[in-house]
Structure 1
Amino acid sequence: IMSLFLSHINYKTKICSTVMNSLSHNLICLLKAYNKKPDSYETSGLIVFA
């Protein structure tokens, strides 16, 4: 039972790190797009995408 519990925690941690990685990746993409100073249409699209 303990090993099952530990593997469950490990699974949750893996999901959490994956979510954090994708979040930071999206943030970097948003920052790059912002630095390019896109027009208002692209900016609104990015906000909807985020």
Structure 2
Amino acid sequence: MRIKACCNPPCHFGFIDRTRNRAARYCSPGCGSQVSMRALRQRRKQADSL
């Protein structure tokens, strides 16, 4: 177990990583979803501007 900070910029909540390979990046699935949607919107915005 390791204590980590969430990689979602507005969150940065501390959580305990209980995964076997210690690869957890987000405190909850909701935070991971927010990051994914933010990246998708950014990609679409860049594609529209080309």
Q: TM-score, normalised by structure 2?
A: 0.45
Greater strand proportion: 2
- Rg: which structure is higher? 1
Q: TM-score, normalised by structure 1?
A: 0.45
